[in-house]
């Protein structure tokens, strides 16, 4: 290798005069119908299932609750990398770090993720916090 | 020699580095881990991206809907790691039912299914906010912060798949889950292949068009070469300097188009008799003599039946290497976004790209040390090329395109952008360029195919294999010792051979890395020894003689600036398979770019032809722009007493009325009268003091070429040896070369069939522009004048009183009537 970085910055400035993508309305209609059918069918199949799932294990584990109040991307304590910026398709503006609660087998675990500040999921917690503050 | 790896090409190299990215979107090829997810249905497990492309829904959603699949797994490098998306509470995996909810107070979110978990009353009492359930799939797309939408750049370089294609391929997957999009467009066995077009949606469409054409050509080539077996061959034995056995034998070239070239592989066989058991060995052609004798360096050194000389057979060993490399380059072009810059990617596919200028500090002078001074148009060419990412330079005959190319390469190398790669389709052109570039003082390495290492080269000292042998440092002494041993014994023990190969590879790498410029053929740029090299700047000479996929091989090594040199008014690449040629494989990339509106920079001063000889080609092929860099005086044949009809005009059209015949092979033509007169003209030249090396006889037909060679050696009135030294060649093989005197035999002379090969204006251009001092054209004006271009050539000769007939020593102006030209293509 001659040590030249591959796919470097110079490449960014390509301006392709692009044709405007036109979605065939017929195709879209057809697709929407199939999507709707799939959704409907999924819902129906679940409804007809017997509801025996009473064992709800939805408690947020304590360790997750510690020190996770509304941290903005970029000011992370551990110096870990923040979301890459160039994507620009996550809604723009600030990003909020959330913890996603998941199950691996029977074990609970969380993974960190960034979501846009204007995401409804964040809005609700913000409102909640604001309400708490007022009390 | 190197063991082929699994699924690897002929020379053990896995073509297309980004070849198979497992997690690439099966629709469009996008493969950044953050943008893709896998369908989790066990029988499917295909990856898709979250871009909409040209459809209303994202590719991932499109697939799930069309295939009625409902489970998804994220990529291991995605924010959530390798995770099957499922309801936190009940484990439901139907993505159409899943959505996020968040905890009321904390920044904690969880996936929950809409039915039933979202409606379970017990949840409401906990700290979850059920009012804001956010579905995974929104507006026909996955949440973009879970599976990212690829950037616009990425989408532009991906396969532009349509909704119809998606539906078709999904349909196909139902019966054949491993089918690819290419399978949709595969032509049937008897179908005409898809023809080439000017613009391609993406590199996948490009590959879909060219891959079948290359396959057709490869199959044809294989079929033709493997049918070339010869029996009862008589062999004479020798030993080369490297102690290898060399067999000499005559491999008569019949009047078909098969051309044996140095580096070709042949198998020499002895089928066994009472005195000697059967034997065979493969070897490389290292030399071809004018008498069509072949020198074959054998791979085997032991057991060669050197005591025998008669009864051998020879077969052609067909190699797929060059075709494999073309296919590999196309694949790399499509799947590896670092293969060429974004600008070049879109430019080559014919997309409209915003103009780009390379901001380079231009040199003060555009010439280069060791090269002749550049003329004005050459200087302008160098200057314009250095500022553009893609440029075309058109070099009409004799306009100094090698010098110009060398000057361009010199300045590129001085810009400090890394090594420059210089290629051409033919070895001869590569050698010439390597020599010129090296004379500027740059460090040049000429990389030859392994099969050609024993073929002598005018730039031997620049070749990699020579430099490896002659690198004189103490650490290399071990390799040299082993080399010596190998030379003496013919082979090494397997452990020594291993050691030797490793040392050699390291040395090759070292030498290649220290070069400023690497020169090789286009196909050679796919050599595994270059697979880890990246070249930002690439110049391809004779690019109009390469097919597009051939041209692509040197480009996909990371090019950001490319210079294509050539002349689309001369002959293009030779395509043997008619089907592939009809579909447009013979059109070069240079030509397509010209048709797309890229204006080539034309070199305008020619230094080859007597001004009288350049007049017609200039007017007819170059809009009259060709200027003469040589004067009449510099091209005067002083002391040559030849009966030119107009003394200051060393050209004439010699009217011939003899008929054409079909040659013995049934595939070519010959014309006895013309051949007899060619011999008379040659003899007259020789008598007048011209030496054989100054004369070239050219003809479009292989049948006539063979006939003239034969006729002259049997009927020439001077010493036979003199005629043997005269080069008789096809017009096509003479492209890029010159002689002082050219005799052109047109052959075609019939009432109704037309003029075949002669119809191509580019062939006429090549034929007329080979001579420096004088040209004689032999042909039938009555037949040729039907074609408009030939009609104007004949008119040109007639107007200058150079259309003549009669015996050579008493030429008279011909009054033959021309026919009305009409457009006939056959
Ligand atoms: Zn699937
Ligand atoms: Zn896709
Ligand atoms: Zn559930």
Q: Which ligand is nearest to the CA of B147?
A: 2
Q: Which of B478-482, B505-509, B607-611, B714-718 shows the highest mean pLDDT? A: B607-611
* Cα B708 to Cα B652, B659, B678, distances in angstroms: 20, 15, 8
Whether residue B568 is predicted with pLDDT greater than 50 in this model: the reply is yes
Q: How far apart are CA B55 and CA B35, in angstroms?
A: 17
Q: Stretch B38-51: mean pLDDT, rounded? A: 94
Cβ partners under 8 Å of residue B90, min gap 6: A53, B113, B116, B117
Whether residue B565 contacts residue B542, with contact meaning beta carbons closer than 8 Å, is answered with yes
pLDDT at residue number A2: 40
pLDDT at residue number A51: 58
Q: Assess if residue A63 is contained within a domain.
A: yes
Whether residue B289 is predicted with pLDDT greater than 80 in this model: the reply is no
Cβ partners under 8 Å of residue B70, min gap 6: A38, A42, B41, B64, B93, B94, B95, B96
Hey, are the CB atoms on A56 and B134 less than 8 Å from each other? no
Q: How far apart are CA B799 and CA B813, in angstroms?
A: 11
pLDDT at residue number B275: 76
Q: How far apart are CA A97 and CA B403, in angstroms?
A: 61
Assign B89 to helix, strand or coil.
coil
Which residues of chain B neighbour A110 with C-beta distances below 8 Å? 108
What is the CATH classification number for the domain harbouring B725?
3.40.50.300
B638: burial class by Cβ within 10 Å (0-12, 13-18, 19+)?
A: exposed
Which residues of chain B neighbour A64 with C-beta distances below 8 Å? 106, 108
Give B243's pLDDT tier (boundaries 50, 70, 90): confident
B434: burial class by Cβ within 10 Å (0-12, 13-18, 19+)?
A: buried
Give B487's pLDDT tier (boundaries 50, 70, 90): confident
Q: What b/e string do you get for B440-469 counting C-beta neighbours within 10 Å, with b at 16 or more?
A: bebebbbbbbebbbbbebebeebbbbbbbb
Whether residue B84 lies within 8 A of chain A, CB to CB, comes out as: no
Whether residue B615 is predicted with pLDDT greater than 90 in this model: the reply is yes
Sign of the Cα pseudo-torsion (B381, B382, B386, B387, in order)? negative
- Lowest-confidence pick of A86-95, B159-168, B347-356, B745-754: A86-95
Size of interface A-B (CB pairs under 8 A): 221
Give A95's pLDDT tier (boundaries 50, 70, 90): confident
Q: Between B48 and B13, where is the model more confident?
A: B48
B778 phi and psi, to 5 degrees?
-110, 125
Q: Assess if residue A3 is contained within a domain.
A: no
Beta bridge partners of B296: B247, B285
B571/B655 same-domain check: no
Cβ partners under 8 Å of residue B544, min gap 6: B566, B567, B568, B570, B572, B588, B590, B591
Hey, are the CB atoms on A101 and B108 less than 8 Å from each other? yes
- B477 DSSP 8-state letter: H
Neighbours of ion ligand 1 (CB under 5 A): B 39, 41, 44, 67, 69
- Which value, to the nearest 10 degrees, does the dihedral of the CA atoms of residues B457, B590, B338, B178 take? -100
Which residues of chain B neighbour A42 with C-beta distances below 8 Å? 70, 94, 96-97
Which residues of chain A neighbour B140 with C-beta distances below 8 Å? 31-32, 35
- List the one residue out of B66, B31, B62, B58 whose CA is nearest residue B47: B31
Whether residue A19 lies within 8 A of chain B, CB to CB, comes out as: no
B759 phi and psi, to 5 degrees?
-65, -30
Whether residue B412 is predicted with pLDDT greater than 90 in this model: the reply is yes
B401/B381 same-domain check: yes
B420/B275 same-domain check: no
Which two tokens mark B279?
A: 């034997």
Q: How far is the CA of B187 from the centre of ligand 2 (A)?
A: 25
Q: Assess if residue A44 is contained within a domain.
A: no
- List the one residue out of B268, B263, B264 whose CA is nearest residue B318: B264
Q: Stretch B260-264: mean pLDDT, rounded? A: 84
Whether residue B621 contacts residue B569, with contact meaning beta carbons closer than 8 Å, is answered with yes
pLDDT at residue number A65: 57
Whether residue B826 is predicted with pLDDT greater than 80 in this model: the reply is no
Whether residue B539 is predicted with pLDDT greater than 60 in this model: the reply is yes
Q: Assess if residue A16 is contained within a domain.
A: no
Cβ partners under 8 Å of residue B34, min gap 6: A87, B75, B77, B78, B79, B147, B148
Q: Assess if residue A94 is contained within a domain.
A: yes
Q: Which ligand is nearest to the CA of B40?
A: 1
Q: Assess if residue A114 is contained within a domain.
A: yes
Q: Which of B232-246, B389-403, B454-468 shows the highest mean pLDDT? A: B389-403
Which of B295, B310, B325 delimits the end of a domain?
B310
pLDDT at residue number B119: 82
Total structural domains within chain B:
4
Whether residue A7 lies within 8 A of chain B, CB to CB, comes out as: yes
pLDDT at residue number B179: 86
Whether residue A97 is predicted with pLDDT greater than 80 in this model: the reply is yes
Planar angle of CA B471, B475, B480, nearest 5 degrees? 55
- List the one residue out of B338, B49, B109 whose CA is nearest residue A89: B49
Q: Stretch B570-576: mean pLDDT, rounded? A: 92
Q: In the predicted model, what is the mean pLDDT of chain B?
A: 89
Q: How far is the CA of B26 from the centre of ligand 3 (A)?
A: 30
pLDDT at residue number B413: 96
Q: Assess if residue B25 is contained within a domain.
A: no
Distance to chain B for A66, nearest Cα, Å: 10
Hey, are the CB atoms on B109 and A46 less than 8 Å from each other? no
pLDDT at residue number B664: 76
- Lowest-confidence pick of B6-10, B139-143, B553-557: B6-10
Q: How far apart are CA B759 and CA B765, in angstroms?
A: 11
Whether residue A77 is predicted with pLDDT greater than 50 in this model: the reply is no
pLDDT at residue number B188: 63
Give the DSSP H/E element, type plus range, for residue B101. strand B98-103
Q: Assess if residue B390 is contained within a domain.
A: yes
Q: Assess if residue A4 is contained within a domain.
A: no
pLDDT at residue number B503: 87
Which two tokens mark B795?
A: 């008119």
Distance to chain B for A62, nearest Cα, Å: 11
B155/B303 same-domain check: no
Which of B179, B199, B217 delimits the end of a domain?
B179
- List the one residue out of B416, B404, B412 whose CA is nearest residue B371: B404
What is the CATH classification number for the domain harbouring B270?
2.40.30.230
Q: Assess if residue B2 is contained within a domain.
A: no
Whether residue B694 is predicted with pLDDT greater than 90 in this model: the reply is yes
Q: How far apart are CA B172 and CA B175, in angstroms?
A: 6
Q: How far apart are CA B418 and CA B194, in angstroms?
A: 39
B619/B727 same-domain check: yes
Q: Assess if residue B350 is contained within a domain.
A: no
B478/B594 same-domain check: yes
Planar angle of CA B116, B121, B127, nearest 5 degrees? 105
Q: Which ligand is nearest to the CA of B60?
A: 2
- Lowest-confidence pick of B333-347, B518-532, B811-825: B811-825
- Lowest-confidence pick of B211-215, B480-484, B734-738: B480-484
Hey, are the CB atoms on A10 and B341 less than 8 Å from each other? yes
Total structural domains within chain A:
1
Q: Which ligand is nearest to the CA of B73?
A: 1
| Residues of chain B above pLDDT 90, percent | 61
Which residues of chain B neighbour A72 with C-beta distances below 8 Å? none
Whether residue B13 is predicted with pLDDT greater than 90 in this model: the reply is no
B646/B552 same-domain check: no
Whether residue B299 is predicted with pLDDT greater than 80 in this model: the reply is yes
B745/B656 same-domain check: yes
Give B9's pLDDT tier (boundaries 50, 70, 90): very low
Q: How far apart are CA B683 and CA B514, in angstroms?
A: 53
- Which value, to the nearest 10 degrees, does the dihedral of the CA atoms of residues B221, B227, B232, B235 take? 20
pLDDT at residue number B773: 95
Whether residue B1 is predicted with pLDDT greater than 60 in this model: the reply is no
Give A70's pLDDT tier (boundaries 50, 70, 90): very low
Hey, are the CB atoms on A2 and B145 less than 8 Å from each other? no
pLDDT at residue number B15: 38
Whether residue A3 is predicted with pLDDT greater than 60 in this model: the reply is no
pLDDT at residue number B675: 95
DSSP A39-95: HHHHHHHHHTS---------PPPHHHHTT-S-PBTT--TT-PPPPPSTT--S-SS-E
Q: Assess if residue B225 is contained within a domain.
A: no
Q: Stretch A5-18: mean pLDDT, rounded? A: 55
ipTM (interface pTM): 0.77
Neighbours of ion ligand 2 (CB under 5 A): B 25, 27-28, 30, 49, 59
B621/B573 same-domain check: no
Whether residue A5 lies within 8 A of chain B, CB to CB, comes out as: no
- Which value, to the nearest 10 degrees, does the dihedral of the CA atoms of residues B146, B152, B154, B157 take? 150
Give B667's pLDDT tier (boundaries 50, 70, 90): confident
Assign B646 to helix, strand or coil.
strand
Cβ partners under 8 Å of residue A127, min gap 6: none
B490 phi and psi, to 5 degrees?
90, -30
pLDDT at residue number B614: 96
B647/B719 same-domain check: yes
Cβ partners under 8 Å of residue B434, min gap 6: B422, B444, B446, B459, B462, B519
| Residues of chain A above pLDDT 70, percent | 45
Whether residue B499 contacts residue B482, with contact meaning beta carbons closer than 8 Å, is answered with yes
B750/B802 same-domain check: yes
Q: Assess if residue B187 is contained within a domain.
A: no
Q: Assess if residue A75 is contained within a domain.
A: yes
DSSP B736-799: T--EEEEEEE-----SSS--GGGG-HHHHHHHHTSEEEEEEEEE-HHHHTTSHHHHHHHHHHHH
Distance to chain B for A75, nearest Cα, Å: 16
Q: What is the rounded radius of gyration, in angstroms, for the C-alpha atoms of chain A? A: 22
Q: Return the number of other C-beta atoms located less than 10 Å from residue B197's C-beta.
A: 13
pLDDT at residue number A27: 84
B395/B471 same-domain check: yes
Q: How far is the CA of A103 from the centre of ligand 2 (A)?
A: 29
Which of B80, B105, B145 is opposite residue A111, by nearest beta carbon?
B80
* Residue numbers of the domain that contains A116: 54-82+89-134
Q: Stretch B534-546: mean pLDDT, rounded? A: 97
Q: How far apart are CA B448 and CA B525, in angstroms?
A: 10
Q: Stretch B379-391: mean pLDDT, rounded? A: 94
* Residue numbers of the domain that contains B300: 235-310
Whether residue A68 lies within 8 A of chain B, CB to CB, comes out as: yes
Q: What b/e string do you get for B496-533 counting C-beta neighbours within 10 Å, with b at 16 or more?
A: eeeebeebbeebbeebbeebbbbbbbbbbbbbebbeeb
- Lowest-confidence pick of A100-114, B545-559, B767-781: A100-114
* Cα B200 to Cα B195, B230, B351, B544, distances in angstroms: 12, 45, 8, 20
């Amino acid at each position: 290798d001659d040590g030249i970085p591959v796919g470097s910055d110079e490449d960014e400035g390509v301006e392709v005069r692009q044709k405007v993508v036109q979605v065939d309305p017929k195709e879209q209609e057809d697709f929407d119908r199939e999507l709707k059918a799939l959704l409907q069918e999924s819902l129906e199949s679940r409804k007809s299932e017997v509801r025996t799932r009473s064992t709800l294990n939805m408690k947020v584990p304590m360790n997750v609750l510690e020190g996770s109040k509304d941290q903005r991307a970029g000011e992370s304590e551990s110096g870990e990398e923040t979301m890459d910026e160039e994507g620009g398709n996550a809604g723009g503006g600030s990003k909020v770090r959330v913890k996603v609660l998941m199950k691996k087998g029977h074990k609970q675990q969380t993974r960190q993720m960034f979501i846009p500040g204007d995401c409804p999921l964040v809005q609700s917690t913000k409102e909640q916090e604001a309400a708490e503050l007022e009390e | 020699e190197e063991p082929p790896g699994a699924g690897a090409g002929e020379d053990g190299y896995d073509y297309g580095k980004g070849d198979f990215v497992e997690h690439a979107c099966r629709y469009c090829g996008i493969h950044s881990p953050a943008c893709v997810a896998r369908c989790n249905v066990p029988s499917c497990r295909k990856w898709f991206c979250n871009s909409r492309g040209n459809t209303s829904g994202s590719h991932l959603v499109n697939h799930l809907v069309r295939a009625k699949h409902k489970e998804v797994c994220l990529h291991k490098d995605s924010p959530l790691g390798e995770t099957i998306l499922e309801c936190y509470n009940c484990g439901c995996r139907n993505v159409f039912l899943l959505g996020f909810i968040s905890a009321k107070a904390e920044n904690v979110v969880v996936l929950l299914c809409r039915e039933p978990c979202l409606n379970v009353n017990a949840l409401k009492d906990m700290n979850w906010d059920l009012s804001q359930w956010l579905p995974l799939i929104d507006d026909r797309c996955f949440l973009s912060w879970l599976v990212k939408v690829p950037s616009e750049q990425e989408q532009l370089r991906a396969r532009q798949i349509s909704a119809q294609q998606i539906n078709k391929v999904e349909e196909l997957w139902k019966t054949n889950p491993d089918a690819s999009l290419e399978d949709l467009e595969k032509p049937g066995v008897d179908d005409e292949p898809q023809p080439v077009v000017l613009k391609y949606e993406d590199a996948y469409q490009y590959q879909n068009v060219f891959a079948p054409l290359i396959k057709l050509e490869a199959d044809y080539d294989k079929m033709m070469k493997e049918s070339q077996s010869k029996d009862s061959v008589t062999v004479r034995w020798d030993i080369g300097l490297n102690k290898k056995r060399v067999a000499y034998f005559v491999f008569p070239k019949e009047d078909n188009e098969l051309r044996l070239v140095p580096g070709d592989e042949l198998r020499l066989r002895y089928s066994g008799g009472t005195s000697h058991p059967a034997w065979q060995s493969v070897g490389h052609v290292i030399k071809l003599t004018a008498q069509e004798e072949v020198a074959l360096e054998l791979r085997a050194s032991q057991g060669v039946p050197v005591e025998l000389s008669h009864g051998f057979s020879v077969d052609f060993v067909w190699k797929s290497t060059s075709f494999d490399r073309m296919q590999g380059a196309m694949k790399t072009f499509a799947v590896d976004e670092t293969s060429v810059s974004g600008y070049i990617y879109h430019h080559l596919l014919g997309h409209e790209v915003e103009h780009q200028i390379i901001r380079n500090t231009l040199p003060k002078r555009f010439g280069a040390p060791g090269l002749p001074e550049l003329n004005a148009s050459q200087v302008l060419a160098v200057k314009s090329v250095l500022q553009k990412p893609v440029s075309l330079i058109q070099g009409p005959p004799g306009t100094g395109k090698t010098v110009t190319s060398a000057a361009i390469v010199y300045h590129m190398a001085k810009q400090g952008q890394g090594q420059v790669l210089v290629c051409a389709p033919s070895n001869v052109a590569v050698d010439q360029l390597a020599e010129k570039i090296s004379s500027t003082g740059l460090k040049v390495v000429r990389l030859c195919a392994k099969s050609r290492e024993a073929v002598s080269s005018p730039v031997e000292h620049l070749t990699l294999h020579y430099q490896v042998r002659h690198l004189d440092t103490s650490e290399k002494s071990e390799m040299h010792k082993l080399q010596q041993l190998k030379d003496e014994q013919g082979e090494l023990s397997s452990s020594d051979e291993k050691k030797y190969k490793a040392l050699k590879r390291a040395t090759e790498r070292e030498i290649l890395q220290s070069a400023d410029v690497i020169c090789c053929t286009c196909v050679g740029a796919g050599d595994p020894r270059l697979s880890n090299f990246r070249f930002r700047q690439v110049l391809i000479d004779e690019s109009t003689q390469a097919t597009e996929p051939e041209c692509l091989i040197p480009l996909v090594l990371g090019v950001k600036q490319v210079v294509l040199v050539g002349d689309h008014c001369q002959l293009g690449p030779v395509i043997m398979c008619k089907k592939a040629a009809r579909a447009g494989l013979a059109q070069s990339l240079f030509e397509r770019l010209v048709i797309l509106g890229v204006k080539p920079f034309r070199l305008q001063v020619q230094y080859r032809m007597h001004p009288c000889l350049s007049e017609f080609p200039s007017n007819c092929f170059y809009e009259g722009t060709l200027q003469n860099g040589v004067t009449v005086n510099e091209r005067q044949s002083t002391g040559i007493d030849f009966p030119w009809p107009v003394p200051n005009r060393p050209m004439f059209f010699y009217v011939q009325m003899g008929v054409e015949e079909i040659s013995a092979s049934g595939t070519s033509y010959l014309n006895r009268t013309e051949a007899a007169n060619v011999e008379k003209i040659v003899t007259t030249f020789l008598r007048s003091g011209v030496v054989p090396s100054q004369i070239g006889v050219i003809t479009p037909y292989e049948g006539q070429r063979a006939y003239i060679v034969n006729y002259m050696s049997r009927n020439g009135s001077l010493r036979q040896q003199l005629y043997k030294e005269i080069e008789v060649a096809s017009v096509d093989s003479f492209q890029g070369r010159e002689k002082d005197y050219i005799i052109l035999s047109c052959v075609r002379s019939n009432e109704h069939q037309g003029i075949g090969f002669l119809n191509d204006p580019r062939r006429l251009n090549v034929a007329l522009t080979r001579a420096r001092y004088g040209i004689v054209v032999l042909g039938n004006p009555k037949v040729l004048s039907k074609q408009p271009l030939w009609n104007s050539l004949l008119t040109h000769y007639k107007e200058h009183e150079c259309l003549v007939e009669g015996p050579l020593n008493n030429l008279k102006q011909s009054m033959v009537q021309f026919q009305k030209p009409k457009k006939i293509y056959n």
